[in-house]
Chain A
């Protein structure tokens, strides 16, 4: 058998080794591929688009109650019902109805003006009753509704989820693999070979990027098919951002696991690093409500940079120039974390 058959590069062999190790671990595959899908599905349905609710209003029993009821039913925004006087007031107090109309000839509107829905009900109810009493509008305004793709909550959510998945799976898969190999003295065994240290870490990196492509493709396709979430900007730029994000989190994963000797220690470190980003980086809700003073810090976090950039490309259709600050941010995180991680890496 010719010897050359077996002389593939160590980088190639190590990357394949790591990929096989991962694929043969069913739990890991679940967390990386299936879990993000379930999360997207659950959140997507929880926040799916519904037609605007009709506002529940009440009419107290009285001689004109039926007439008022008919008039109110003509309004598409209202959901009226007749209540006995006493019960109507109770329902209003509990907030089950937003406004109560007296059943007399001259209606009385009973409502809490501090509640926005009640104020909206006041306008709708008044219009309905006035029109039915013969009022003529000076003009009929045309309405234009703007619940567009790209501005729904699910559109905000999907790029954030993609970014969060890249962070979670990237950091967990790398740091667990590294600490596990250290625990089993496999790192020490590798150190006893002529293989270069950078080769080992680069292989972790590359195998991670392979999974990242699968992972992002699955979530993005799923969101597109089920929720109609599209990439409005350049698809290539979207791919580039995912790769850069994956690289940054792989680097941070290597940094976090560079010294840890136990899985418990590395889990703690991971949570310490990821928790602030889960909270601050605007995955689920915009970080605009944080004080202005801390926003530069939040924007410097890699998860914020990635989520922001993905939103700009997916929802707003921006190009490379617009997301350049985020690209620089992610590249910097990658280089710094990888370099420091390699420097302080503990092999045994």
Chain B
């Protein structure tokens, strides 16, 4: 069945002197799928994606890309994948079109740079130097450089980190339209909304381990609690104060308050307020939202994606 897999890796391990960046990771990405590696900074996402891109070598484990191994078929794979690294700075003195033309020359077959610029709304910037572009435009150009070889797999490492909301939306559109052409995508991100919106399947990574795998819906369902209540009180509640709520599935301590996972807000919220009154503490804040991947991460690790 490996033929249907765009990417597969087994038992991937990479240890640096002070940190186990990747520690026994298994992944299978099907063709035509958009697969997300979600995790906080330092979780091992970049090390993993760079090993899969053939830019880093694992200490142990097996990697196959398009059914080929990096050792035997490096150039063959390179012709068929497109890569956008996390922090590449393209030369500032070179224009957008010149940059794209250069990258086009590296591939045997590929797309017309002019057409690609139109598709990425960069045609107005065709003759601007890279140094004059905005962050979003630079990032679109970086993705254009990855797409110009008409790749079968597109690797994106934190494609929207540091971008404003509008640039982020534009980039999501590019990714979606590439998918519609039949492309496979592997991306890393620490934005849960990005993963939820773009990815068919997600692996949540923490400390070099895969701690969860599935579609965004499946993952959220593993919380077994569709609603989240966040509250802070003075003084703080004890876990025993709300353990007996109807439909209670668990809680995580956050600074002065708690994050509670429950089945039904209509039932749990009144009971919770009653519990606060019974305890005689003062309610400072209370908010609720539908469960997200972020909540899953918090539930599994006790930490948030962003601050980890």
Contacts and interface: CB of A to CB of B under 8 A. Distances in A.
A186 interface: yes
B112 interface: yes
Give the interface residue-count category, chain B. Answer: 20 to 34
A348 interface: yes
B27 interface: no
Given A184-B88, A194-B75, A7 B105 contact: yes
Given A20-B94, A185-B88, A193 B55 contact: no
A7 B45 CA distance: 35
Nearest to B89: A184
A21 B85 contact: no
A17 B88 contact: no
A199 to B, nearest CB: 9
Contacts of A123: none
Nearest to A11: B105
B169 interface: no
A9 B87 contact: no
B36 interface: no
Contacts of A1: 112, 114-115
Contact of B78 (A3, A186, A193): A193
Given A17-B94, A21-B93, A185-B85, A192 B101 contact: no
Interface string A83-118: 000000000000000000000000000000000000
A190 B53 CA distance: 12
Given A188-B85, A189-B83, A194-B75, A21 B103 contact: no
B89 to A, nearest CB: 4
A188 B89 CA distance: 11
Nearest to A2: B112
A188 B88 contact: yes
Nearest to B95: A20
A8 interface: yes
Contacts of B93: 20-21, 24-25
B78 A192 contact: yes
A8 B106 CA distance: 9
A343 interface: no
B79 interface: yes
B86 to A, nearest CB: 8
Interface in B29-57: 53-55
A6 interface: yes
B216 interface: no
Most buried by B among A9, A188, A192: A192
B108 to A, nearest CB: 7
A10 interface: yes
Interface residues of A, number: 28
Interface string B81-107: 001010111110110001001111111
A20 B112 CA distance: 22
B149 interface: yes
Contacts of B106: 10, 190, 193-195
B78 A194 contact: yes
Most buried by B among A17, A21, A24, A193: A193
A194 B112 contact: no
A17 B78 contact: no
Interface in A179-220: 181, 184-186, 188-195
A262 to B, nearest CB: 15
B113 interface: yes
Contacts of A13: 101-102, 105
A237 interface: no
A78 interface: no
B88 A193 contact: no
A186 B90 contact: yes
Nearest to A23: B93
B112 A185 contact: no
Contacts of A3: 112
Nearest to B109: A3
A186 B91 contact: yes
A24 B131 CA distance: 12
Interface string A1-41: 10100111110111001001100110000000000000000
B88 A6 contact: no
Interface string A207-249: 0000000000000000000000000000000000000000000
Most buried by A among B79, B104, B106: B106
Given A1-B114, A20-B93, A184-B88, A6 B104 contact: yes
B55 A188 contact: yes
Nearest to B99: A17
B79 A194 contact: yes
Contacts of B115: 1
Contacts of A186: 88-91
A188 B86 CA distance: 11
9 contacts: A6-B105, A9-B105, A181-B91, A184-B90, A186-B90, A191-B55, A193-B83, A193-B107, A348-B55
Interface of B: 53-55, 75, 78-79, 83, 85, 87-91, 93-94, 98, 101-108, 112-115, 129, 145, 149
